[in-house]
Structure 1
């Protein structure tokens, strides 16, 4: 229950804004350098102001960012809003608020690590159709190489799940992924979590991370079953499916861009 409450509080800003139309309440977003005393991370020096008022996090803390490039990109998201605020066009703001939130509440980090590990156990790459169908052959041809590469690179022994069967992670595999996540700073963890959630795959997210596959390839691999069902069922509208795919690509791209924007300057976390 604590995890559910934590998850709700963690995402309430986003979900609330999605259900209610919020009229744009500011004229302009600008960035400003700050040297606040008592900052949680002294390397964070940039803030965003909406008509002079500092943008805050979910927990009403000032949103202080590590680079001017990230701050300006988020300010651009604010300035690009029209009459009503569309949070779907502000992915960097949402990711940044989540990253700063982790630094103010370690329980959020614990939940996020737990969520990623949970995804790995039920990873899209591990799923196989139970029967020797055409879908099974496609999964085998396209996903088996990704699983083999992942196991080799990270020294894991993940196994395929057939049908509804879900094999729990072996203890050594769980320790491996826990160690990987512990080494990530807050920004890296938020970026990875977003990619994992959108791809429904920790394996594909880490393959992107290590530049083994492109975002486009990862999205296609994550949608093998959906694309197969569409090819077999003419009633499914391809137009709406394309919109879903483009949304996923945009979100995963934003998560990758977040890391690029904080690495522009030399910063130690």
Structure 2
């Protein structure tokens, strides 16, 4: 599925949210200036946040169109082709590996040992996900109207963190979890464009996709919170943080 994102790389870069800065700092759990791998970096949403907190970042992304958007936005960052199951970095070369809205695509039975290989002993693996705050009534209603293809089982706070835990994470201690308030300024049109980049939407037949987006447009037009001008989409950045075994 991950290769489908390349077809909407420019829209992904424009519309997908970044990550709460405090979530990124907590996820790294290492000193400023540390070597960090952004794994499955996409168009560089998390990469940019890592640069902002002072990390020395290497971005690994398999899709050439997504990687091109990252390089355009962040020309000073080293970005290389690769994936979680085959990481093109030397052994023990980074203090932290982060994945933004990507860890659920990894085959952790293969990716777990690869991540352990590139981490220094006791290093950090962290997955970050932006989730909508469905404690807010209009957000919960939007999730119901949108359907699982647009707002799926990992996209709301009510599924955090159970729906995000990887099947296996051999070589790591049990995860710590935290969630940090976040928000994204949107209009009805830009929120529809954001939801159109979701994985489930990309695989839908064109007619079904347009029907779903039409329902979302109609809902947003009907709500006082979203009908006119800009609004803040209430979100949180949830983090799963794992420590690698220091004695391996």
Q: State the TM-score, normalizing by the size of structure 2.
A: 0.29
Q: Higher strand proportion, which one? A: 2
Q: Higher helix proportion, which one? A: 1
Q: State the TM-score, normalizing by the size of structure 1.
A: 0.27
